[in-house]
Amino acid sequence: MMNGGNMPNATKMNDNDHDLPPLVRALKASAKRKTACFHFPGHKRGQSEPSTMIGSDPFLHDVTELPDLDNFFLAAELFGAKETWFLVGGTSCGVQAAILATCSPGETIILMRNTCIDHYRDSICRGRAKVYLGAVFLTSPTYNGICSNLNEISKLCHSNGIPLIVHEAHGAHFKFHPKMPKTALDQGADIVIQSTHKVLSSLSQSSMLHISNNDYQILIDRERLHKSSLDAARHQLSKISNTGLFDDAVMLADEAKVLINKIPGISIFSSSFTHDDEMDPLRITIGVWGLGLSGFHANKKVDDDFGIVPKLGMTREHVRMLMSGLRQLSNMFYSDEKELENSISRNVKFGEVVEMGLSPREAFFARVLIPQDIGVPVLVPGEVIGEGAVGYLQEIKNKGGFLIGAADPLLSTILVCKKKY
């Protein structure tokens, strides 16, 4: 539809605007224009009730069409990819796109045991059978910062003509400091999905999907505000040296580790616990078994009593509060002679051999049992329930853990599927 009145005048750009990232610059220019809105979205640049809650500025920047903004070569160049897509539905939608692009219905896909629950849902959608081949899917780094040897894994995959998909949600920052592990792209992964919003500076739910070659053409819908925040995050990284943005963070994490290791009964999870060579230096996983506590009890204690949420910290003040809370925790519970009756037994083992009685799609109405909020399941739909898994779940519950997905929260019973004959 044409505008019957005078056409809006072009907005004069300020000198400072030319230094902005392309998407941010285009959105700011669009917001400044006087325009007649004969197009989506329906709020018409904030002329709607929701603007009374958060003001009109977000709506002025919420546009559906801007010219010449669909080329994301700057992000691809920065992260070392052949092509990059900006995602607004979180990393999970990128994982789903990667699986759909590489696997046909009925093909199998190799998954790590510590794969996030969302990826089991993606497999159900396409009918993947888990034989724990269209593709190999790995999570690296893990939530605790442990990195797999992707260089050797990618060579093995490619020698057999199998694409390697890497869920690098917590590793979007690896390329920008020499103390960081090598990126999945640098180690030969074909498709990499990163949660830019988790460790960098874009808006929540905004992520990036990178491919290393042109074999996987994946179309992803993008929304402008999230796209501009991704472009701004990309711009921030491109303006700094390889170390500048993360020097202080790495130094602060190193200082915190030294201080934590001096607290009686407190320990740090390090690469000595695993056979993997590399770990994210910014990840600190704290062990409290020396206090006779489970992680669940300690988490609740520091949250309720000391005002510390043990997730992602970012400043020296956060570290100071953490040190104070851990010292108080140690003073309350540490004893040289105390029996560690509340710690989780290391003798309970599960998942070393996975037996699938049904495919996840066949057992889609079954439950996924997860002992924490990170999303790593103990049991998935279609998996045969073994004694080790049952013992582990019971011990988690008895030590104060919260089980997600159980039909019976008390775990007196487990909902199962009757195996077909």
Show pLDDT as tens, one digit a residue, over the chain (421 residues).
333 333 334 444 455 565 777 777 777 777 776 654 545 555 556 555 555 555 666 656 666 555 444 446 788 888 989 888 888 777 878 888 888 778 777 777 777 766 665 555 555 555 555 554 788 999 999 888 889 999 999 999 999 888 999 999 999 999 999 999 999 999 999 999 999 888 887 877 888 999 987 566 544 444 556 677 778 778 878 877 656 778 888 888 999 999 999 999 999 987 776 666 688 998 888 888 889 888 888 888 887 777 676 666 667 888 888 888 899 999 998 886 655 554 555 555 555 667 888 877 787 777 788 776 556 788 888 888 888 888 888 888 887 777 777 777 777 788 888 765 4
Instruction: Judge if 149 and 201 occupy the same domain.
Output: yes
Cβ count within 10 A of residue 191: 29
In this structure, the answer to whether residues 251 and 234 fall within a common structural domain is no
The span from the CA of 18 to the CA of 195, in Å, is 28
Residue 33 lies in a domain: yes
Q: Which of 148, 131, 130 is nearest to 139 (CA)?
A: 148
Residues 80 and 183 sit within 8 Å (Cβ to Cβ): yes
- Domain span at 407: 344-421
Contact 97, 218 (CB under 8 A): yes
- Say if residue 362 is in the same domain as residue 251: no
DSSP helix/strand/coil, 364: coil
Total structural domains within the chain: 4
Q: Please indicate, yes or no, whether residues 139 and 225 belong to a single structural domain of this protein.
A: yes
Residue 291 lies in a domain: yes
| Max Cα–Cα distance, the chain, nearest Å | 85
- My answer on whether 56 and 82 are in the same domain is no
State the Cα–Cα distance between residues 246 and 240, nearest whole angstrom. Answer: 10
Asked if residue 164 and residue 116 are part of one domain, the reply reads: yes
Six-digit token string for 132: 């724990």
Q: Tell me, what CATH number does 78's domain have? A: 3.40.640.10
Q: How far is CA 194 from the centre of its chain?
A: 7
Q: Using DSSP, state whether 136 is helix, strand or coil.
A: strand
Shortest CA distance to 74 belongs to which of 259, 316, 236, 300? 236
Q: Are residues 80 and 216 in the same domain?
A: yes
Handedness of CA 390, 392, 398, 403 (dihedral sign): negative
Going by C-beta distance under 8 Å and a sequence separation of 6 or more, which residues neighbour residue 168? 140, 141, 174, 183, 184, 189, 192, 193, 194
Q: Is 161 left (phi over 0), alpha (psi -120 to 50) or beta?
A: left
Residue 11 lies in a domain: no
Q: Are both 180 and 79 inside the same structural domain? A: yes
In a domain, 259, yes or no: yes
Question: Can you point out the beta strands (E) in 286-363?
Answer: 286-287
Hey, what amino acid is at 109?
I
Nearest 5°: the CA angle 202, 143, 233 is 15
Is there a contact between 151 and 182 (Cβ–Cβ < 8 Å)?
yes
* Sign of the CA dihedral running 236, 238, 239, 241: positive
pLDDT at 132: 44
DSSP code, position 138 = E
- Asked if the structure places residue 380 within a domain, the reply is yes
User: Domain check: are 329 and 356 in the same one?
Assistant: no
Please say whether the dihedral angle defined by the alpha carbons of residues 207, 175, 184 and 253, taken in this order, is positive or negative: negative
- Residue 328 included in any domain: yes
Asked if residue 66 is part of any domain, the answer here is no
First to last CA, the chain: 62
